[in-house]
Amino acid sequence: MPTRFSAPLGEDFPSHGDWLLRLVDKVWRLPDGSRIELDVWQRWLIRAILEIYPVGHPRAGELRYRQVLVSVGRQNGKSILGAIFGLYGLVREAGALVIGIASSAEQARIIYTRLLAVIRGHQTLAAKFARLTDTRGIQSHNGGRYEIKPSKSAAVQGLDLTVGLADELHLTKRELWSDMVNGTAARRNGIVIGFTTAGDDTSELLISLYEIAENPPERFGFFIWEAPEARVPADDDSLGQYLLAASPGLACGRLDLATAISDVRSMAEADVIRYRLNRFTASSNAFIPAALWAAARRPAGAVFPAGRPIFTIDLSPDWGFAAIIATIKNGEKTSAELVASIAKPSLSQLTNVCLDLARHRPVVYVMDGYLLKDLGAELKRRGKPVMIATRGDVMSASGLLYAKLAGGLLEHAGDALLDMQVPRTVRKNDGDAFRISRKDSSVEIDAVMALALGVLAAETRREKVLQVF
C-alpha cells in the first residue's frame, strides 16, 4: 500500500478498473508474446484511481477523481500503468480524446509506444482501430484518438479531453496541468492522471500537488510511496526498509532488494533520496563527499600508470586559472593526476604547454567547446587529436565521475588543488540528470571540470582515435 493515499469511499468500492483489468488480462501481451502479469499493487492502484461513486450517491456511476497524482520511486512500471490508462481512455466511449504529455516528446512516446505495440499485437483489438501510427496518433473506428502533445500550455488549450496522461510531473509546468484539467470539464468522466518521482525545489507543479494532497478536495486523488525520511541510512537493513516503502515493485518481490541496495550504494546521495527513496531534494547539492574523495587517494609509493594518457584542459570563465589533468584507464580503474595549474593563462601559453605534453603521445586533448574552442582549433591545425566537449558531455562526465568514485574505480594523486576544489564543488539538477555547476560552486572548479571530462574521455576514447587525425 502507498505511504499516503486517498482512502476509498467504502471497503468494497465499485470501479471501472474491474472491467479494464479483465480487458488487460485478455489482450495485453509482452514483447515475447506472453501475457502480462501485473503486480498486486498495480491492480489495486488501477481500481483505486478508477473508483466510481456507488449506487445512491448523487453522482452514482461517475468517476470519483478528476485529478490523480501517482508518486513512486523509479523502476516501478509507471509507463505500463500509463499505457493501460491510455487504453482505458480509448475504449471507454466513442469520440474519446486521450492526450499524453511529458517533459519531452521522446518521454511521452514511451507510454504511447507501449500501448501501440499492444494494440498491434492483438488482432481483435487492432480491428477496432482505423489508424495506428508511430508518431501521428492512434484513432479508433468510433472516433477515439490518442495523441502526444508538446510540453507547452498552448498545445492543449481548448481541447475536449477524456483522459490526460502526464509523465514526469516534477518537470511539468503548472499551467500545462491546469489546461489539461480544464480540458476535461465538458466530460462527465474526464480525468487527468499524473505520474512522477519526487522533485526538487524548482518543481512548482509537483510541490503544489503535494500541498493539495495535504487537504484534498473531494475529486482529487493521490497515491504516494515514499521513504520515512529524506536521508540514506548507513546500515543496509534500514536502507532496505526505506527502499521498500518507496518502491512497491520491491515490496511485492518482483524486484530484488539486495540488488537494489547494492545499486544505491554506488549512487550520489541526492539521487538516492530523490529517485529511489522518492523524497524531495534541493536543486543544488554538494557533488562529492570529502570522505569519498579521500578514499580514492592513490596508495603511498604508487605512481601514475604507464601508457598513453589523455590530457584535459579547463579554464575558469574569467581566464584567471587553467588546470590540466592527465587520465588513463588501466583495466577497470581510471587514474588521474594534476599536470599543471596556470594563473592568468594566455591562449599561446596553453598552446605551448599542450604541445610540450605531446612528447607523452596523448590519445587525445579534451576541452570545453565554449571557453577553449580556439585552443582546440589551434591544436587541430597542428595535427593533434582533439575532443571538444559539449554540455551533454559535461552531464555524462558528472555522473560517471561520481559512479567511478563510489565504485572504487578511480584513483587520484591527492593533488592539493583537487583536494581543495572537490569538496566545494556543487552539482545542479538538469531535468532528470545533473551536472557540475561552476555558477553554484563556492570556488573556481577548473581542475574538477578537467577531471570529470578526462574520466569520460578515458572511458570512451581508444588509441585508434589517432587514426582519424
Residue 166 is part of a domain; what is its CATH number?
A: 3.40.50.300
Task: Answer yes or no: do 451 and 348 share one domain.
Answer: yes
**CA neighbor of 90 nearest in space, from 45, 133, 147:** 147
**Parallel, antiparallel, or unpaired for β 321-330 and 310-315?**
antiparallel
Rounded mean pLDDT, 322-350:
96
- For residue 462, pLDDT beyond 70: no
Q: What is the mean pLDDT of residues 165-194?
A: 94
Do residues 186 and 160 touch, judged by C-beta distance below 8 A?
Answer: yes
pLDDT tens-digit map of 143-168? 999 999 887 777 888 889 999 999 99
Q: Please enumerate, as own/partner, the contacts of 256-260 that have beta carbons within 8 Å and a separation of 24 or more.
A: none
Cell of 227: 521513504
Task: With cut-offs at 50, 70 and 90, classify the pLDDT of residue 469.
Answer: very low
Compute the distance between CA of residue 47 and CA of residue 232 in angstroms, rounded to an integer: 33
| Res 377: pLDDT | 96
Cell matching residue 405:
568514485
467 pLDDT tier (thresholds 50, 70, 90) = very low
Same structural domain for residues 181 and 271?
no
Does 219 share its domain with 82? yes
Please state, in angstroms and as integers, the Cα–Cα distance from residue 130 to each residue in 43, 133, 137, 144, 151, following that order.
29, 10, 11, 10, 27
CB neighbours of 339 closer than 8 A, spacing ≥ 6?
A: 311, 324, 325, 326, 357
Task: Give the pLDDT confidence score for residue 463 in this predicted structure.
Answer: 54
- Interval 26-77: pLDDT, tens: 999 888 888 889 999 999 999 999 999 999 999 999 999 999 999 999 989 8
Instruction: Provide the domain count of the chain.
Output: 3
Decide if 387 is inside a domain: yes
Residue 410 sits in a domain whose CATH number is 3.30.420.240
All three cell numbers of 218, joined, read: 473531494
Angle formed by the axes of helices 391-406 and 446-460, to 10°?
Answer: 80
Q: In terms of domains, do 329 and 357 share one? A: yes
Per-residue model confidence (pLDDT) at position 158: 85
Rounded to the nearest 10 degrees, the angle between the axes of helix 236-246 and helix 257-264 is 110
Would you say residue 177 has pLDDT above 70?
yes
Q: Are 433 and 318 a contacting pair, CB within 8 Å?
A: no
Please tell me the distance from the alpha carbon of residue 176 to that of residue 187, in angstroms, as a whole number: 18
Q: Verify that 220 and 243 share a domain, yes or no.
A: no
CA atoms in the 13 A half-sphere facing the CB of 34: 4
Average pLDDT, the chain: 93
Residue 465 has pLDDT above 50, yes or no: no
* Residue 368 three-state SS: strand
Beta-bridge mates of residue 314: 323
The pLDDT tens digits for 105-143 are: 788 889 999 999 999 999 999 999 999 999 889 999 999
The pTM assigned to this predicted structure is 0.86
Contact at 8 Å (CB) between 391 and 369? no
* Per-residue pLDDT band at 340 (split at 50, 70, 90): very high
Residue 414, CB-side half-sphere exposure with 13 Å CA sphere = 11
Helices (H), 265-341: 269-271, 290-295
State residue 153's pLDDT score: 73
- Please name which of 21, 420, 36 lies closest in space to residue 254, comparing C-alpha atoms: 36
Distances (CA, A) of 74 to 181, 231, 277: 25, 17, 9
Q: Are residues 300 and 209 in the same domain?
A: no
Whether 180 and 37 map to the same domain: the answer is: yes
**pLDDT at residue 449 is higher than 90:** yes
Instruction: Quickly state the pLDDT bin for 431 (edges 50, 70, 90).
Output: confident
- Last residue in a domain, options 184, 199, 224: 224
Longest dimension (CA), the chain: 87
Q: Which domain does 249 fall in, by range?
A: 236-282
Question: Are 277 and 301 in a shared domain?
Answer: no
For residue 231, tell me if it sits in a domain: no
